[in-house]
Amino acid sequence: MELMFKCHDCGKTFEDPRIEKWVDRIDGDPVQYTEMFCPFCDSEDIDEAFECSECGEYHFDLFNGICAGCLKELAYDEQTAWEYGQEYSEKVEVNGLLAYLFPDINEALLKLAKERLNNNDHVNYCTDDLDAFSDFIKRREKK
């Protein structure tokens, strides 16, 4: 796999940056400098880029090999969000009186959850911690 770079200014991806080398003297001693530039716009603001395993595009930051944009797209799937929530479920204590007054509390919560899903709140839940969500996605892919 070739080392790839991406320019922060023009956004283009490339394998071979333009390289300039020169020698300067510091206290009489020669010091060699090397600088890399974008071959498209001559910007010095370039960094190594990594290929997303989902979309194939190059990004500066990946989460377990997946870019933030692809993780957000995956989070829009309600079933994915539901499975992610199941993995990180929490035990909730309910006041005894409330449990008595609302014996169908699970149904009421599911109804409220469906309303929130219509507002895409599940996307924020999934993408709040991209490292954890990407871990979940990778584990799910292995199954």
Q: Is residue 114 part of a domain?
A: yes
Secondary structure of 48-106 in the HEC alphabet?
EEEECCCCCCEECCCECCECHHHHHHHHCCHHHHHHHHHHCCCCCCCCHHHHHHCCCHH
Q: Is residue 71 part of a domain?
A: no
Q: Is the pLDDT of residue 143 over 80?
A: no
- The number of domains in the chain is 1
What range does the domain containing 86 cover? Answer: 76-143
Q: Is residue 139 part of a domain?
A: yes
Q: Is residue 90 part of a domain?
A: yes
* 58 confidence band (pLDDT: 50, 70, 90): very high
Q: Is residue 120 part of a domain?
A: yes
Q: Is residue 111 part of a domain?
A: yes
pTM over cut 0.85:
no
Q: Is residue 56 part of a domain?
A: no
Q: Is the pLDDT of residue 8 over 80?
A: yes
d(CA 112, CA 84): 18
d(CA 42, CA 104): 65
| 76-124: pLDDT as tens digits | 998 898 899 888 777 778 888 988 888 888 788 888 877 777 778 889 9
Mean pLDDT of the chain: 90
Count CB neighbours of 10 within 10 A.
Answer: 13
Q: So what's the pLDDT on residue 107?
A: 84
Q: Is residue 117 part of a domain?
A: yes
